[in-house]
């Protein structure tokens, strides 16, 4: 920083009243002073008069009527609705016609006939346009330096809800509706990739991180979808030194008192501390290099351990050699062995074997995970058992049942908790954990086959 940078205009505004003034002694009446300062100090867009059209695509949007919309700032030239344009790619070019041309107006986008240098435009008419490409004049195509979007690092399976109690809560239930929604997301979100699976009822969804995929799941849940999703998996590469995995540069800003806690959490996830800086305000900034798979569920835990005082920032650090297994949960699950409504009598006995995720009066089904066991290995339990009615009355048997409050997990926590053989059932009103194979005998046979395959290898 230098002394010239402190010579900036000061405008006093009242956003609620919609007024601005340059002098505190003179109350403002409107926002004209603010707009005048912007016109006087903000430089006009730099462009070459007579230069052919150049628009660098920096974002994508989607519309049900016009399809994919390329968003970018016009560097040179003029674009008109109905005009012929060319998209320049790294090794090819495609042509098209501007079917829709829009400019931002407040929070809306309005149709215009033409736009010039400096305008941020939305251009429709090219279905396969991508971020980083250049929209040019077909008569004189001149590319701009290409932008590159970070490739996906994680993938999850999105499938239709196959639970026995599915279809009662949502509006969108079929694989056709799920596919249409994911394809719509791809139109406006270049970081998302979708591909079908062998079953046709599920889709592989790739993204830039667990948070991005979790946001997509939450959006679909609020829109009325019922679906089931798997635990995120990292996308591995074969490098010159063997298997490589994606890494992230993670920066955490916390009060100094929590540095030890943060360091412990990061060590569990194979992170390496690269730098630490102590500030005068009693906070510290710690830099880590961490595998992307180590970030699954870490935000919620950091915010919990630091009482919400941590600031977290992450940046892709590319692919680096595999650093080994990251410990997952060591305890097994408490699994419901039948369908029905949970009873306090049954849960009272089950809660001694672990931590419950459900409470009395909830609908459950065979294969649903209703708690975390206190020991390794899964345990099938009867959560719908009722107390038999008899004429026997004793003080010890008739005392009130006291249930420990259940542990309720948000989507991010659930994604971290589940294992490879488990899924999350997502509906507009509930999140449930379940086994991929609901039947106990099917799970045992599958475990036997997996053991045989490991021995063979």
Structural domains in the chain plus CATH codes? 3-41 (no CATH), 54-136 (2.40.30.10), 237-321 (3.30.70.240)
> Quick check: 383 pLDDT over 70?
yes
The string of pLDDT tens digits covering residues 10-61 is 999 998 999 999 998 888 899 999 999 999 888 888 888 888 999 999 888 8
Residues 79-106 pLDDT 10s: 999 999 988 887 788 888 999 999 988 8
Report the DSSP beta bridge partners of residue 405.
none
Host H or E run for residue 350: helix 344-350
Global pTM reads 0.77
What torsion do the CA atoms of 321, 324, 327, 328 make, to the nearest 10 degrees? 70
What sign does the CA torsion over 221, 227, 230, 232 have?
Answer: negative
- pLDDT of residue 399 exceeding 70: no
Each residue's pLDDT tens digit, 166-180: 888 888 889 999 999
pLDDT of residue 3: 78
The size of the chain, in residues, is 457
CA distance 165 to 152: 33
- In this prediction, residue 178 carries a pLDDT of 93
Q: Which residues contact residue 395 at a Cβ distance below 8 angstroms, ignoring those fewer than 6 apart?
A: none
pLDDT at position 393 is 57
């Amino acid at each position: 920083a230098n002394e010239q940078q402190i010579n900036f205009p000061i405008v006093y505004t009242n956003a609620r009243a919609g007024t601005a003034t340059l002098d505190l002694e003179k109350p403002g009446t409107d926002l004209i002073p603010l707009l005048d300062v912007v016109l006087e100090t903000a430089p006009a867009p730099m462009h070459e008069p007579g230069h052919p059209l150049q628009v660098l695509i920096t974002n994508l949007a989607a519309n049900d009527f016009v399809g994919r919309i390329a968003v970018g700032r016009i560097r040179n030239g003029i674009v008109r609705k109905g005009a012929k344009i060319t998209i320049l790619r790294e090794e090819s070019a495609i042509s098209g016609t501007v079917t829709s041309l829009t400019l931002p107006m407040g929070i809306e986008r309005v149709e215009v006939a033409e736009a010039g240098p400096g305008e941020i435009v939305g251009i429709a008419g090219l279905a396969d346009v991508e971020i980083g490409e250049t929209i040019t004049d077909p008569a004189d195509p001149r590319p701009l330096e290409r932008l590159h979007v970070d490739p996906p690092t994680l993938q999850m399976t999105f499938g239709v809800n196959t639970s026995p109690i599915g279809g009662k809560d949502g509006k969108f239930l079929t694989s056709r509706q799920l596919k249409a929604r994911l394809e719509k997301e791809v139109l406006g979100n270049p970081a998302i990739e979708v591909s079908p699976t062998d079953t046709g009822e599920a889709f592989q969804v790739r993204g830039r991180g667990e948070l991005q995929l979790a946001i997509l799941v939450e959006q679909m849940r609020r829109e009325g979808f019922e679906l089931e999703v798997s635990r995120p998996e990292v996308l591995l590469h074969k490098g010159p030194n063997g298997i490589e995995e994606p890494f992230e540069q993670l920066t955490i800003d916390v009060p100094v008192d929590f540095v030890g806690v943060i360091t412990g959490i990061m060590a569990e996830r194979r992170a390496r501390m690269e730098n630490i800086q102590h500030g005068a305000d009693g906070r510290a900034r710690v830099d880590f290099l961490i595998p992307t798979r180590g970030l699954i569920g870490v935000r919620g835990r950091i915010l919990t351990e630091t009482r919400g005082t941590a600031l977290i920032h992450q940046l892709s650090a590319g692919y680096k050699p595999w650093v080994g297994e990251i410990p997952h949960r060591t305890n097994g699950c408490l699994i419901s062995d039948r369908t029905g409504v949970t009873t306090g009598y049954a849960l009272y006995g089950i809660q001694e074997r672990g931590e419950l995720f459900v409470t009395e009066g909830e609908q459950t089904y065979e294969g649903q995970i209703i708690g975390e066991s206190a020991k390794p290995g899964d345990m099938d339990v009867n959560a719908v058992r009722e107390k038999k009615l008899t004429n026997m009355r004793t003080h010890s048997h008739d005392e009130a049942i006291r249930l420990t409050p259940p542990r309720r997990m948000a989507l991010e926590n659930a994604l971290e908790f589940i294992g490879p053989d488990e899924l999350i059932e997502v509906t507009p009103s509930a999140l449930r954990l379940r086994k991929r194979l609901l039947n106990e005998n099917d799970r045992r046979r599958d475990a036997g086959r997996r053991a045989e395959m490991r021995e063979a290898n």
